[in-house]
Every structure is written in structure tokens, then in C-alpha cells.
């Protein structure tokens, strides 16, 4: 369902989860923009791939 909302709203599904508080509270309280959030997610995923 989140994927469908994301598509209709033209947003990243992970960002919708973030807005809903599904990420650690420290990051959620930073009130990241979608662009800031996407950059962090890309960096995180790159770090996970190299392990």
C-alpha cells in the first residue's frame, strides 16, 4: 500500500516510512527533506554493499 501512495504522491516509499516514524527517532527528529533523506539512504546502501 505504501508503494501505491508513494507512486500517487510522486515520493520515495522509504521517505514515506521515514515521515511515518519508521526510522530511528534520532533521524526522524531531524526533519529531513526528501532530498536529504534520499542522499542518506544512498550512502547507507552503498556502505552495506561494500561489506
Predicted local confidence at residue 8, as pLDDT:
94
Tell whether pTM > 0.95: no
Domain extent listing, the chain? 2-49
Residues 3-47: pLDDT tens digits?
999 999 998 898 888 888 888 787 778 888 989 988 988 888 888
- DSSP conformation class of 4: H
Contact present, 18 and 6 (Cβ < 8 Å):
no
Amino acid at each position: 500500500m505504501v508503494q501505491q501512495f508513494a507512486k500517487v504522491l510522486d515520493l520515495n516509499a522509504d521517505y514515506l516510512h521515514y515521515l511515518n516514524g519508521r526510522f530511528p527517532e534520532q533521524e526522524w527528529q531531524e526533519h529531513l527533506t526528501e532530498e536529504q533523506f534520499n542522499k542518506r539512504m544512498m550512502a547507507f546502501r552503498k556502505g552495506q554493499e561494500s561489506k
